[in-house]
Structure 1
């Protein structure tokens, strides 16, 4: 019986469909590689790698369009664990962690492990503390869950307003990093590229909502991992003769320790609360790769890890993905897959940083004979590296790398054809589109479900719900593109701000709503508001220099305030209803009926009874 039910729930042809997509993406790379050797126009090849994948993503999204509410808001709860985990990993990393994270590993060395440890810890916390219980409840959005968990319309609206802020920051960051990546493929105005990307994401997700985003996002995730693993594995074989880049860089690290010090990179001491990950633009190498706590201090590393973990575990653009799983058990498995895929991607980009460090060391080593390596001039022509091209000898101080170009400079340094660089660009763009799509459809669902309909428990007609949210997809796309063009900011900083704000405002209330029965609606509202206000104030004061805590991690200082206020108000003003206590009891039981579906059915019956 169990196997029969499973076969009916999950589409057995998913593997075939995505194998076809993987074959198409690989065929595109091979065709571009062949035409490059035949001296076809470079511009035409670049446009092909930009336009063809985007058209495929849009085609997938449009082909699975739906007006059914369950399909639109939860992909019909038919997404297998492996696909959910793959999509969660790509949506959590996005183009920002893939592109800017590679630069962070390149410049900061081991200190950039804060990104890896924070991400993996966030998925582990989500899997243990939040995801199974959120899946049992089954709400489509985080504000809907909190509002119905505490029977509070005010909490639902307040949470929706607070959640919209970090989601807009993430959307802006991904559109900006995506525009930077796309700008290396097509020669268009950056603002126009932002508009094109926002429009493509809106078209891809609007037709089928979470269903369209799920299957288009899985294709984007496959493109990311095919590009990243395929290119870096090829380079690993060339450099080390081993096809496992995540393990092959060990002997290279031992050589870097000695040679970087002899060429002028000395140990750096920073204060414990420092958090100096590289910013946007060109910079020089200033510390050895293996030195710990030379860019991020000991206390800053701990706080940064906790801030990223808390933000990812409660992220309103990630956590609702588990509602699309067929069961609580599948939701747990999905988080396991997400941990594996995200760890694999982050370990791979750390390998890219080590390989690139080795090439940089070869370029500046004092005993080198002959002219500067040819790849430096090619990378400089691509605006990935800057140096004095008349110099005969270079030091680390005379060689500058673009933080967001380190990933794309590696194929050039290895001497591979341009098609490998185009493939990496297409993979990074796919990651940015995946996170932008996740944020856009989740924010549109929050605006349509929790803001427009937030003051009423009465269920709206399913088609009306879908069309309201569909219209907000366009609104969110316009707002995200406008924010990206009006206030351009370092994407890595924007994402870290968003995760800190999310962790400070939503994480405490989400945890307490499951694990503390005495939490009340008024306590939840106070906790969300206090956490958000404290986080925003801490970031603002850090940016103006009023406090010494770096702004990327300053927002998490609002987390203890949120916990304290939520606990204090709930204790001073107790008022937990029997219905709320029953919901908590049901949430903790993994089997049985989905609570949200049961509530909606009851509301529909009452509505029909009145009419």
Structure 2
């Protein structure tokens, strides 16, 4: 699709709009900070930080509602690269990797770098070998791309069923972690909060689909980064006198590990395939921060990085975002921004873990005189820390932290006002909403486009397409809420399962669809089914103890089987059509008309000709 000047496709006032939102979010924080000093009701301040951002997000989503199919499914293909990159970064992290990831860095230390390396590698792989070609094709969903690429309705349906499973896992994980975060703010029943969050997601995104998701999601991403960077920078200035937390924690680490060993933390040896991140609930520190391969083994680190990278690069709730870029060049540029923003967020939560380690060390140091620090009792009162409050000396074994509360314990441990605690909770809740909304809208589009209409290439009326998908937004949000309530599982484990399943089933087929012309439709179906079945079976075996590979990374064992099935069947039964070969050739040319739009126009013309 050809474009003219950038000013014609990109709203030049977007920076002003989101600057206004950033100012509103900052003003909310300052008002709460002022009212806290004036001794206003704590419950009222907490309710304000819960309700006001959600109402603003819903207002943004409703204000950009649209019944136009291109706007609804691809945000009009005019989203600037920086905004797409910001949304991709926040959606890939979500509340799970922001909240539970901070706990992983706190307990596992350097071993948690596997999360950082996996996510950044995934975006690099997506930018180099997938995103430009997917953007040239221009499909609204991954199953639509596979169905159009191979001219196969069966492949389209199979792909829709396969990708729905990891997407539901991610949605359930985000709603589960969101309920835990929100319950710290407003103290309601977690199941009720799950329903409220699901309703908020449906209201925010149903009106405009990907368009509502884009602009409400950008606002949510801004809220996340303002909260995370604001608190981390403030603590960094207090502790190190430097306003760059990502760099200021380096000098602290050098002395940290020596003091930790002196206080009883010893080096730990694990077997090479270990992948032992802390689960939900309270746990004590057991290894020095800088010890490598004390929680994650050498092979486990390599396999985990590969599993996360392959899952991120082909995630069906992330990859279709590049279809909203104005051009192939902007798609590549968006992935560069996504790498920058996600790296910044992960480095920031790792610095939060270092600061919390330093504070914990001060609390247990044997030479400390006097009573236990007051912050321990304050943190215990809000269920962030657990310890025996009758003792006067603590060891690391007697001080336990909630994995999903480490991030929120930092402002309490450093003596900051409660407003900093509230803003961190609001930022984490925004991360939950952006990831859950991205998954909900993408899965609703798959159900509407590829399941309901998957057995026919005949395009229905644009209004009908929009309303069908709009209805599925509510259905998906409700299903995610039900799954989160009836099957509560560790959210971090759910996300890692989802990435492993996605990498094992989708990665081989997506890569071969671009880079190997001989791949056939039947081989693609076999690759998807084999990879998905092997990944799910490996995770199940690991969970019951029949497989010696940890379940968070066991699913990726299906990837070589998926590659073998796809390549083997293509060689044994060759038969790629001439049209499919022409599509591959067109995908590899960055310029020219969008292939998906051209296909829809031809089908529409044929429909008019028959009638």
* TM-score, normalising length: structure 2: 0.99
SS at match of 1:275: coil
Q: 1:453 — aligned with what?
A: 453
Residue matched to 2:420: 420
Alignment of 1:173 onto 2:173: yes
State the shift of 1:598 in Å.
0.4
CA deviations on 1:420-477 (whole Å, 9 max, x unpaired) are 0100000000000000000000000000000000000000100000000000011101
Q: Secondary structure at the match of 1:183?
A: helix
- The Cα shift of 1:537 comes to 0.1
1:64-121 Cα shifts (integer Å, max 9, x gaps): 0000000000000010000000000000000000000000000000000000000000
* Aligned residue in 1 for 2:237: 237
Q: Partners of 2:115 and 2:13 in 1: how far apart? A: 35
- Name the residue aligned to 2:310: 310
Q: What residue is the counterpart of 2:90 in the other structure? A: 90
Distance 1:325 1:421 in 2: 36
Equivalent position of 1:531 in the other structure? 531
What's the counterpart of residue 605 of structure 1?
A: 605
1:187: Cα distance to partner?
Answer: 1.6
1:543-575: CA deviation from partner (whole Å, max 9, x where unpaired): 000010000000000000000000001111100
The offset of 1:5, in angstroms, is: 1.9
User: Partner residue of 1:570?
Assistant: 570
**In structure 2, distance between residues paired with 1:546 and 1:504:** 20
Q: Report Cα offsets for 1:339-372 as digits up to 9, x if no partner.
A: 0000000000000000000000000000011111
User: C-alpha distance in 1, partners of 2:610/2:231?
Assistant: 63
The equivalent residue for 2:119 is 119
How far is the alpha carbon of 1:124 from its aligned partner?
0.2
CA RMSD, 1 decimal: 0.7
CA distance in structure 2 between the aligned counterparts of 1:547 and 1:531, rounded to whole angstroms: 17
Alignment-derived partner of residue 411 in structure 2 = 411
Residue 47 of structure 2: aligned partner? 47
CA distance in 2, matches of 1:90, 1:575: 41
Is 2:213 the counterpart of 1:220? no
Q: Which residue of 1 aligns with 2:249?
A: 249
Alignment of 1:460-499 (within 5 A): 460-499=460-499
Aligned-partner Cα distance in 1 for 2:451–2:5: 36
Tell me how far apart the structure 1 counterparts of residues 448 and 570 of structure 2 sit (CA, whole Å).
Answer: 29
Aligned mates of 2:403, 2:354 — CA distance in 1: 14
**What displacement does 1:3 show?**
9.6
Corresponding residue of 1:74: 74
Taking the aligned partners of 2:118 and 2:3, their CA distance within structure 1 comes to: 37
Equivalent residues in 2 for 1:181-580, closer than 5 Å: 181-580=181-580
What is the TM-score normalised by the length of structure 1? 0.99
- 1:36 & 1:154 partners in 2: Cα distance? 59
- In the TM superposition, residue 4 of structure 1 has moved relative to its aligned partner by 5.6
| Unpaired segments ≥5 residues, structure 1 | none
Moved over 6 A (4+): none
Task: Give the Cα–Cα distance (whole angstroms) in 1 for the partners of residues 240 and 63 of structure 2.
Answer: 44
Aligned to 1:283, the other structure's residue is in SS state strand
Structure 2's unaligned 5+ residue stretches are none
Q: Distance in 2 between matches of 1:311 and 1:187?
A: 35
Give the Cα separation in 1 of the matches to 2:144 and 2:3.
32
Cα distance in 2 for partners of 1:26, 1:512 equals 47
Write the distance in 2 (CA, Å) between the matches of 1:562 and 1:186.
Answer: 46
Deviations along 1:29-62, whole A, 9 cap, x unmatched? 0000000000000000000000000000000000
Work out the CA distance in 1 between the residues paired with 2:272 and 2:477.
40
- The alpha-carbon deviation at position 257 of structure 1 amounts to 1.4
Residues 172-218 of structure 1, C-alpha deviations (whole Å, 9 max, x = no match): 00000011000000021110000000000010000000000000000
Deviation string 1:379-419 (CA, Å, 9 cap, x unpaired) is 00010000000001000000000000000000001000000
Structure 2 counterpart SS, 1:291: coil
Can you list the C-alpha shifts for 1:559-610, whole angstroms capped at 9, x where unaligned?
A: 0000000000111110000000000000000000000000000001111111
In 1: Cα distance, 2:177 partner to 2:120 partner: 22
* Shift in alpha-carbon separation, 1:156–1:4, aligned structure 2, 3 A: closer
Cα deviation for residue 267 of structure 1 reads 0.2
Deviations 1:135-154 (A, max 9, x none): 00000000000001000000
Secondary structure, aligned partner of 1:184: helix
CA distance in 2 between partners of 1:364 and 1:425 (Å): 27
Give, in angstroms, the shift of residue 513 of structure 1.
0.1
Deviation at 1:251, TM superposition (A): 1.0
Q: How many residues align?
A: 610
CA offsets 1:288-307 (integer angstroms, 9 cap, x no match):
00000000000000000000
Aligned twin of 1:160: 160
